[in-house]
Amino acid sequence: MFSFELVINALIAGLLLGGFYAAVTIGISISFGILDIVNIAHPAFIILGSYIAYMLNAQFGIDPIVAALIALPAFYALGAAIYQIYYLAFETRGREALSGLAFFFGLLFITEVLLILVFGVDYRYVQASYIDQSINIGFVNLPKRMLIPCMISILMFIVLQVFLSRTFMGRAIMAVAQDQLALRLMAASPTRIKRTAFAISIATASLAGAFLIIIQPVEPSVGREYIGRVFAICVLGGLGSLPGTVIAAMLLGVAESLTATFYGPSWAPAVSFGILLLTLAFRPAGILGR
Amino acid sequence: MRWGAFFLVALAVAALIFGCALAINNDYVFFAGYTVLQFIVLATAWNILGGYTGYVNFGSAAFFAIGAYSTVFFYKFYPMPIPALILIAAAVSGLIGLGTGYLTLRLRGAFFAIATLALAVVLQTLIVNWNYVGGSRGAYIIRPSSIDYIGSYVHYLFLIMLALAVIALTIAYAIEHSALGYGFATIRDDELAAEASGVPTLKLKLIATTLSGALMGMAGAPFPYYIGYLQPSSAFGLEYAVNSIAMPIIGGTVSWAGPLVGAILLGTLQQYVTVTISSSVNVLIVGVLLVAFVVVAPNGIIGLMTSIARRGRRERKPA
Amino acid sequence: MNANLLEVERLGKRFGGFVALDGIDLTVAAGERVGLIGPNGSGKSTLVNCLCGTLGNYSGAVRFEGRDVAGLTAHQRTRLGMARSFQLPRPFPSMTVTDNVRVPLLYTVNARRGARLTGEEVAARAAELLTLVGLADKAGQFPRDLTQVEMRKLELARAMAAEPKLLIADEAMAGLSHSEVEDIVALLIRLNEGGITVILIEHIMRAVMTFSQRLVVLVSGKKIADGNPNEVIRDKEVERAYLGQ
């Protein structure tokens, strides 16, 4: 049972899975890690992205990733709108804690149920040429449906990292987490910057959703499995650190893959949430936390 | 009024309700009523932690399910009368509440909230893989048809949940009117200032989590007998998490009356919607109401009523 | 046993790379009236936060009544007898002014051995404290209805409610009128004559000079002067760093 090839394949599968998990989590790294907004509805937006990719794919035969890029501006706008409501309702009143959490919790359910009402609970999947193909290097099996999302996810991460460290807006976003007063003195509006950041985080959900439906069939409640994964990765990687997120995502992917291979897939959800609980209990700053 | 008096009044009201239900003599009233009463307990329990101290628990289903599954466990291992099961459930849920709290309450409220989510999923996975209590296939509990002194077993379950509701409401009332209530409120308002004023915030938060968890477990203990067939998906169901948050927020989190109002209104609304439209629309309505109230009326229905009353009093004063 | 109420030994505090406090030594004897001055950002509030336990992870030692308070949480230190008011007032917004003052009575005074107060005693002391700071007519109002000045008085009242041995007043008089400043200084001197040691952190030099028996100056996280107020303000370094000219 315990063969070298099995282990290597489980490891590789875990790394590819981790790349995908990084795409799923990057949005939360921005909204929770940098902006301190607990957007637990993020997985629902990812599922929304999956369904939009599904619709464009089923109706027009568009490749799901291309579909996600087409939908990106809409997601950006949605993110900006949600932040505006959040800001007016909570940040100005100083009640972010309880009400903010309840707000996003409500959004999570509303999104999920709307999807159920519109699409039903059947699993949906997309058609693309590469979904059933694999690349084989020796005994190593690389399914393209995992490989391509992973690669584009890494690309997305690199783009975001460059944006955050090289452009003015990107650096302002990193700064807004630390010192809002200094930002005001530079005549930059913290609200506008935070809104941009949050909008970006929701925009990533569009792509992540496309990746998800490429990797597996999707139905509305799938998002809930990802809440734990996303926050586990975020906390493990250290809030506000994008590289930390990627590393933590890989670690989680490998942990889940090995667990599923050797103990069975029904234990997989417990892996991420278990890691989350342990990290919170013993090292809440994460691996690369600030 | 002192909490002793409140308890007696609540008991009297409960007796009245039971009497009316018997008079209507329709089993549906008891079944539906049980659900509403269960939500009263869950909402009140949630509010002790969420409303009073401001720490949000997303994993109410976990504590509820612990109660339900400890009943299943003892049903197979060593059957016991429901009151004993309730006490056991309280102990187990309370302990897990204490444990979760101890691990995460020294961090910010957001982390606690996420940890409770994690707890719910971890526990569900454990239960799904534990065949003794049925695992994913579920467990059957044979409901006796009658019990001494009361007669119909369904009436008995209804009575038990009435009692739990009275207990939960009395505990909430007692907390509100005690030094403990002040302590909780300071934690919600400004934890740093609370500590500087001498409030032992960690200890109080742990009291709140333990109490809240225990009450939720108690609500779950009779559930297997009520439903007859317990699956993890129903014990850990979506509606428990959403409702135990939505009901206090919509009713009003500052007082014991909020969860009561929220549970009665939403509970009955949901019974109606689930039967006439669908259970998905049901959750949608709850979600929309939750978001609407949180954005527009964060103090809930009770909050709206108090501010209307206060404005009325001010306007009546001579200019 | 020494008569020093508070001993601070080489206290240091960093925030990432930023050194907020750099090896502060300070001794305060029981019954003293100490003034603490320094430019904004010099570390005064950080010092208070470390002393009272609001901030942890500091290097060096803090000893209160001879006992090292490392590891004690803020509420434990308050119960030991250290109370402070916050520079930016932090009232409990959901409670009335009276209830704000009742919290330390319920949770600090009541928690001390053999000091359990009855409900009436708590109410009486709360009313007394509000009268002392001049907030008696606002007893039933909420913090959101108070002016900035009134909120500072509430901060002070709340700190006093903890019946401390050491009271640290962090810029409690900002924005007060001339006569209000005199009232608060008189109040603090009266408290001191009743046995409470007071550290006054202020920018209002008039108040500091009237009040202090000893003056300590903090600049950029370092203590640059500590001694007789009249000599300290004439010190060249203090003039340059803080007073100007």
Q: Minimal Cα–Cα distance from B196 to chain C, Å?
A: 5
C219 strand-pairing partners: C222
Rounded to whole angstroms, the Cα distance separating A274 from B118 reads: 7
Per residue in C25-54, pLDDT tens? 999 999 999 999 988 888 888 999 999 998
Residue C161: list chain B partners with CB under 8 A. 197
Three-state SS at C66: coil
Which residues of C, range 19-78, sit inside 8 Å of B by Cβ?
52-54, 73-76, 78
pLDDT greater than 70 at residue C1: no
* For testing contact with chain C, the best of B197, B255, B302, B314 (most C CBs within 10 A): B197
| Interval C135-140 mean pLDDT | 90
Q: Minimal Cα–Cα distance from C120 to chain B, Å?
A: 14
Backbone φ, ψ for residue B258 (5° rounding): -60, -60
Report the pLDDT value the prediction gives residue B317, as an integer from 0 to 100: 53
* For testing contact with chain B, the best of C57, C103, C113 (most B CBs within 10 A): C103
Q: What is the DSSP string of chain A?
A: ---HHHHHHHHHHHHHHHHHHHHHHHHHIIIIIIT----TTHHHHHHHHHHHHHHHHHHH---HHHHHHHHHHHHHHHHHHHHHHHIIIIITTT-IIIIIHHHHHHHHHHHHHHHHHHH-SS-B----GGGG-EEEETTEEEEHHHHHHHHHHHHHHHHHHHHHHHSHHHHHHHHHHH-HHHHHHTT--HHHHHHHHHHHHHHHHHHHHHHHHHHS-B-TTHHHHHHHHHHHHHHHH-TT-HHHHHHHHHHHHHHHHHHHHHH-GGGHHHHHHHHHHHHHHH-TT-SS--
pLDDT greater than 70 at residue C157: yes
Per residue in A221-266, pLDDT tens? 888 778 878 888 888 887 777 888 889 999 999 988 888 888 887 7
Report the pLDDT value the prediction gives residue C50, as an integer from 0 to 100: 92
Does the beta carbon of A205 lie under 8 angstroms from any beta carbon of chain B? no
The torsion of the CA quartet A266, A272, A274, A277, rounded to 10 degrees, works out to: -150
Per residue in A3-35, pLDDT tens? 788 888 888 889 999 999 999 999 998 898 888
Check if the beta carbon of residue C60 is closer than 8 Å to that of residue C10: yes
Residue in chain C nearest B197 by alpha carbon: C104
Entry field: residues in chain A: 290
In 3D, which of A10, A3, A2 has the Cα closest to residue A141?
A10
pLDDT greater than 70 at residue C244: no
Check if the beta carbon of residue A144 is closer than 8 Å to that of residue A65: no
Which distant-in-sequence residues (6+ apart) come within 8 Å of C194 by Cβ? none
Q: Minimal Cα–Cα distance from B313 to chain C, Å?
A: 15
Per residue in C49-69, pLDDT tens? 999 998 888 899 999 998 999
| Interval C209-223 mean pLDDT | 91
- Characterize the bridge pairing of strands B229-230 and C67-68: unpaired
| Confidence label for C245 from pLDDT (cuts 50, 70 and 90) | very low
Residue B196: list chain C partners with CB under 8 A. 52, 54, 74-75, 78, 83-84, 86
| Confidence label for B316 from pLDDT (cuts 50, 70 and 90) | low
Which two structure tokens, joined as six digits, stand for C40?
């904004």
pLDDT greater than 60 at residue A185: yes
Cβ within 8 Å, pair C75-B197: yes
Cβ within 8 Å, pair B117-A227: yes
Q: What is the DSSP string of A223-243?
A: HHHHHHHHHHHHHHH-TT-HH
* For testing contact with chain B, the best of C76, C95, C105, C107 (most B CBs within 10 A): C107
Cβ within 8 Å, pair A269-B121: yes
Cβ within 8 Å, pair B291-A103: yes
Does the beta carbon of A182 lie under 8 angstroms from any beta carbon of chain B? no
The torsion of the CA quartet A257, A259, A264, A266, rounded to 10 degrees, works out to: -90
Cβ within 8 Å, pair C90-B193: yes
In 3D, which of C115, C151, C133 has the Cα closest to residue C191?
C133
Report the pLDDT value the prediction gives residue A290, as an integer from 0 to 100: 44
Does the beta carbon of B237 lie under 8 angstroms from any beta carbon of chain A? no
In 3D, which of A268, A277, C71 has the Cα closest to residue B99?
A277
Three-state SS letters, chain B: CCHHHHHHHHHHHHHHHHHHHHHHCCHHHHHHHHHHHHHHHHHHHHHHHHHHHCCCCCCHHHHHHHHHHHHHHHHHHCCCCHHHHHHHHHHHHHHHHHHHHHHHCCCCHHHHHHHHHHHHHHHHHHHHCCHHHCHHHCEECCCCCEECCCEEHHHHHHHHHHHHHHHHHHHHHHHHCCHHHHHHHHHHHCHHHHHHCCCCHHHHHHHHHHHHHHHHHHHHCCHHHHHCEECHHHHCCHHHHHHHHHHHHHHCCCCCHHHHHHHHHHHHHHHHHHHHCCHHHHHHHHHHHHHHHHHHCCCHHHHHHHHHHHHHHHHHCCC
Does the beta carbon of A104 lie under 8 angstroms from any beta carbon of chain B? no
Which residues of B, range 75-104, sit inside 8 Å of A by Cβ?
103-104
- Burial of A36: CB neighbours in 10 Å, binned 0-12, 13-18, 19+: middle
In 3D, which of C2, C78, C44, C28 has the Cα closest to residue C197?
C28
Does the beta carbon of B243 lie under 8 angstroms from any beta carbon of chain A? no
pLDDT greater than 90 at residue B160: yes
Backbone φ, ψ for residue A176 (5° rounding): -65, -25
Report the pLDDT value the prediction gives residue A183, as an integer from 0 to 100: 63
In 3D, which of B235, B231, B202 has the Cα closest to residue B42?
B235
Rounded to whole angstroms, the Cα distance separating C173 from C178 reads: 10
Please work out, in degrees rounded to the nearest 5, the angle formed at the alpha carbon of residue C243 by the alpha carbons of C242 and C245. Answer: 115
Does the beta carbon of A87 lie under 8 angstroms from any beta carbon of chain B? no
Per residue in B239-274, pLDDT tens? 788 899 999 999 999 899 999 999 999 999 888 887
In 3D, which of A66, A70, A69, A48 has the Cα closest to residue A124?
A48
Cβ within 8 Å, pair C103-B182: yes
Does the beta carbon of B277 lie under 8 angstroms from any beta carbon of chain A? no
Of C73, C94, C103, the CB nearest to B197: C103
ipTM of the complex: 0.88
Comparison of pLDDT for A176 and A187, the residue scoring more? A176
Q: Minimal Cα–Cα distance from C11 to chain B, Å?
A: 20
Cβ within 8 Å, pair A273-B288: no
* For testing contact with chain A, the best of B283, B295, B299 (most A CBs within 10 A): B295
Cβ within 8 Å, pair B283-A276: no
Q: Minimal Cα–Cα distance from B42 to chain C, Å?
A: 25
Report the pLDDT value the prediction gives residue A94, as an integer from 0 to 100: 59
What percentage of chain B reaches a pLDDT higher than 70? 98
Q: Minimal Cα–Cα distance from B201 to chain C, Å?
A: 8
Q: Of the ranges A19-23, A76-80, B156-160, C237-241, which one carries the lowest mean pLDDT score?
A: C237-241
Which two structure tokens, joined as six digits, stand for B191?
């934890």
Which residue in the block uniquely carries the two structure tokens 């009463």?
B37
Cβ within 8 Å, pair C54-B254: no
Check if the beta carbon of residue C159 is closer than 8 Å to that of residue C78: no
Cβ within 8 Å, pair B111-A273: no
* For testing contact with chain B, the best of A105, A252, A272 (most B CBs within 10 A): A105
Cβ within 8 Å, pair B104-A270: no
Which distant-in-sequence residues (6+ apart) come within 8 Å of C148 by Cβ? C89, C175
Comparison of pLDDT for B122 and B223, the residue scoring more? B223
Cβ within 8 Å, pair B287-A113: yes
Does the beta carbon of B110 lie under 8 angstroms from any beta carbon of chain A? yes
Report the pLDDT value the prediction gives residue B315, as an integer from 0 to 100: 66
Which residues of A, range 32-51, sit inside 8 Å of B by Cβ?
32, 36, 38, 40
Rounded to whole angstroms, the Cα distance separating B207 from B184 reads: 10
* For testing contact with chain B, the best of A234, A280, A282, A283 (most B CBs within 10 A): A280
Comparison of pLDDT for C32 and B110, the residue scoring more? C32
Cβ within 8 Å, pair C86-B193: yes
Does the beta carbon of B114 lie under 8 angstroms from any beta carbon of chain A? yes
pLDDT greater than 50 at residue A140: yes
Residue A284: list chain B partners with CB under 8 A. 107, 111
Per residue in B61-70, pLDDT tens? 899 999 999 9
Does the beta carbon of B81 lie under 8 angstroms from any beta carbon of chain C? no
| Confidence label for A179 from pLDDT (cuts 50, 70 and 90) | low
Which residues of C, range 134-163, sit inside 8 Å of B by Cβ?
158, 161-162
pLDDT greater than 60 at residue C2: no
pLDDT greater than 50 at residue A215: yes
